[in-house]
Amino acid sequence: MRLPQNSPVKRFALPCIIVCAVILAAAAAYVYSRPWHRGFIVTPMYTLAHTNKTAALTFDDGPSRERTPRLLALLKKYNVTATFFMTGYHIGQYPEIAKAVYRDGHLIGNHSFHHRRLIFKSPSYIGREIDAADALIRNTGQTNVQYFRPPYCKKILLLPLLLKLRGKTLVTGTYDPPSEYKTPYNSTNIANEVLENITPGAIIFLHDGSGDNADAFIDSVERIIQGLRAQGYVFARIDR
């Protein structure tokens, strides 16, 4: 049976098809972009270019008063340089600690201002999050803010495009120890997970932004440094 030209079914068929196609495309982009090594429009930096035994320690969400100064002392003790993905909010709280990170030879990357998921946000909102954190990072003395790690590593749709247009590098990573998110915080478990799962060129996720469990956090980082060096690894910033 042929439907009349003014049939409601005909009038709404095309819009429904378009909406369904958009939803399916967005879902496909989301699924494709979930792994750390893939991204919509751009391929994230998820490992170092080095093929030798080099690893990068990266620290997210800081700086914090409880963890970051002690972490800097530990890294200096072992002559290790690292990468700190800082939030603008915490730089604003502890500007002198952020400056100390730069003075000690570490790289500072942008981790947004508020550490909110940047999915399904407007271009202007995402831009403000990037720019506000960039400005505070530059106040540390580091003039070039090239690297951006999304909060929670959520990186679909608009964010990769905006980073590409700004000439920034989208960074994820290679290994994030599950025990770092468990309670009680167990430094031995965290270190063992890292030591057992690292391959050459790994970018390791750790977090200095929390004020809790500072002793255990420092112990876990020291165990990781000692253990990887015993395996023949050297450490590098992600830009080296």
Which residues span the domain enclosing 102? 54-235
Residue 49 lies in a domain: no
Among 65, 55, 106, residue whose Cα is nearest residue 85: 106
Q: How far apart are CA 49 and CA 35, in angstroms?
A: 19
pLDDT by residue (tens digit) across 166-222? 999 999 999 999 999 999 999 999 999 999 999 999 999 999 998 899 999 999 999
Q: Are residues 3 and 110 in the same domain?
A: no
Q: Are residues 4 and 61 in the same domain?
A: no
Phi, psi angles (nearest 5°) of residue 106: -90, 160
Question: Is the predicted pLDDT of residue 233 greater than 60, yes or no?
Answer: yes
- The amino acid sitting at 191 is A
pLDDT by residue (tens digit) across 91-111? 999 999 999 999 999 999 999
Q: List Cβ neighbours of 85 (8 Å cut-off, separation of 6 or more).
A: 58, 59, 60, 61, 108, 109, 110, 111, 147, 149, 171
Q: Are residues 29 and 83 in the same domain?
A: no
Q: How far is CA 24 from CA 19, 28, 62, 119, 196, in A?
A: 9, 6, 37, 16, 38
Q: Are residues 86 and 195 in the same domain?
A: yes
The mean pLDDT value for 53-69 works out to 98
pLDDT by residue (tens digit) across 125-169? 999 999 999 999 999 999 999 999 999 999 887 999 999 999 999
Global pTM value: 0.87
| Longest alpha-carbon distance in the chain | 82
CATH at residue 219: 3.20.20.370
**Mean confidence (pLDDT) of the chain:** 89
